[in-house]
Amino acid sequence: MTAPKVFHFITGLAPDFGGKPFSFIHYMAVRSALLANPGFKARIYFEHEPKGLYWEHTKPMVEPVLVTAPKEIFGKRLRSFAHQADVLRLEILMREGGVYLDLDTITLRSFEPLMGDRLVMGQELGPNRKYIGLCNATMITPPGSKFLETWYQQYRNFSDELWNTFSVVLPSRLSREMPQDIKIEPVTSFFWPSWDEEGINSLFLECKDFSAGYSIHLWESRSWKHISNLTAHEVLQKRTSYNLLARRYLVEGATKLLEAEQEIFRRQSSTAALPAKTNATQDAHAASLPALSQRFSQIYDKNLWGEGSGVGSRPAHNGEYVQFLQEFMLRNKIKSVVDFGCGDWQFSRFINWGGVAYAGFDIVKSVIESNSKKFTDENTRFFVFHSLNDLPKADLLLCKDVLQHLPNELVRQYLAFFKTRFNAMLITNDDYPEDIINRDIQIGGWRSLRLEREPFLEHACIVKSWVVLDGPRTTRKATYLLYGDGP
């Protein structure tokens, strides 16, 4: 008997879902498995049904199965929901057979070559490629596996204090005793890259080719900061190893999900900024204005960033952004733009602003005077920024390479105010290197920003990212799309 064509997933054994609610990567685990394996079915087992956007778009693809999480085995207490899931997957596979996948996986190709008459598991390696054991996050088996039954019986000796002994180390030992009952796949089949920092970064911060395996485990307990707020929009726009793999499953058939995400971003962004905070924001800005003006005037006067507005403004580093912005304005029928922190227009002069009422604001008077002499026309105007009240309402706010130089509290206040003035906002900053993201700074300092993370927690998606190569100052730009409640 061979393994049946059915996927088994488990979630919701704890009411709080272990602090990891049903997210985009869980939706993608199911979607990728089914699209890479036509003719397969999928079941999701839970005691507490998930909620939210991604569950609603996953539910039509699966057969939901309500279960009671096992609380003990052979008289031994199962206190952790992770250990409960370990036991539940064994019971399901012994009874029904099929393919078990953790929900933090992505399937890359068909499992059919592995659908034989014995259990299939894959090697797990740790840091420095040290062998750990056989990981139970992906298993393929016919029903009634002798190996699984032997493994299950070993839980008579279970202890909660041994975290992965029964889920990873034990099947490795049994494989040496029962080699005829198990097929062992190399680490590259299911579990590469590894869960160490290098492996996690290679999936979510870098762009490498991991397409040779059958599937990839995302190790969500270690990668949650990268994946907790991931969206379909970001996957389609930002190049990372994971995003490029997931993108293939969003090319067709994901329109409804993308539209639903867009509506949520718009609704949450428009309600996040409360009018009662506006005066406080303006007061905070007014208090910071002298320091802002002095610091940024000094930067230009002493050429501290090199070439005026700095490396990030060079035309050679903004070709992709210029093309993206041109297409965005055309596609969204943008008629009015406020450019907050317009700088010295190094790259902006190459944008076709025809038919768009453009207002550029900067806090440095000499920069505005120079721009006005060179670039003012019927639809293009430049203004020295004195107050948030100076900013007119517009279809689109541009804010590029500005917030990354401001303290976190000022960033939060500006974002709250922007939402009261503009229909849409494209906020661009460096989002690399990782180790200084959202670190607080003084006015005029610098660090990378991720607006969806603490302390900002914006409901925003990255719609454009690109690398700026400049030797030791190489970084990566990320443009976020936020919605407000403008006209």
Q: What is the pLDDT of residues 144-188, one digit of tens each?
A: 999 999 999 999 999 877 778 999 999 999 999 999 999 999 999
Q: What is the pLDDT of residue 472?
A: 57
Ordered domains of the chain (ranges, CATH)? 6-253 (3.90.550), 261-483 (3.40.50.150)
Range in 46-50, 217-221, 464-468 the model is least confident about: 464-468
Q: Count Cβ atoms below 10 Å from residue 362 Cβ, excluding itself.
A: 24
Q: What's the predicted TM-score (pTM) here?
A: 0.61
473 or 95: whose pLDDT is higher? 95
Percentage of the residues of the chain whose pLDDT score is greater than 90: 63
How confident is the model over 373-398, as a mean pLDDT?
A: 90
Q: Which residues contact 43 (CB under 8 A, 6 or more apart)?
A: 6, 7, 8, 9, 62, 63, 64, 65
pLDDT at 312 exceeding the cut of 80:
no
Q: Residue 243 has which token pair?
A: 């995003």
Strand, coil or helix: 77: strand
User: Among 39, 21, 189, 163, which residue's Cα sits nearest to residue 101?
Assistant: 189
Q: In what order do the strands lie in the sheet with 41-46?
A: 63-66, 41-46, 6-10, 98-101, 131-141, 119-125, 182-185
CA 239, 58, 190 angle in degrees (round to 5)? Answer: 55
- What are the E-state strand segments in 2-92? 6-10, 41-46, 63-66, 72-73, 76-77
* 449-454 CB contacts, 8 Å cutoff, 24+ apart: 449/403, 449/404, 449/411, 450/478, 451/415, 451/427, 451/480, 451/482, 452/229, 452/480, 453/225, 453/229
pLDDT at 257 exceeding the cut of 50:
yes
- What are the E-state strand segments in 343-393? 357-362, 380-384
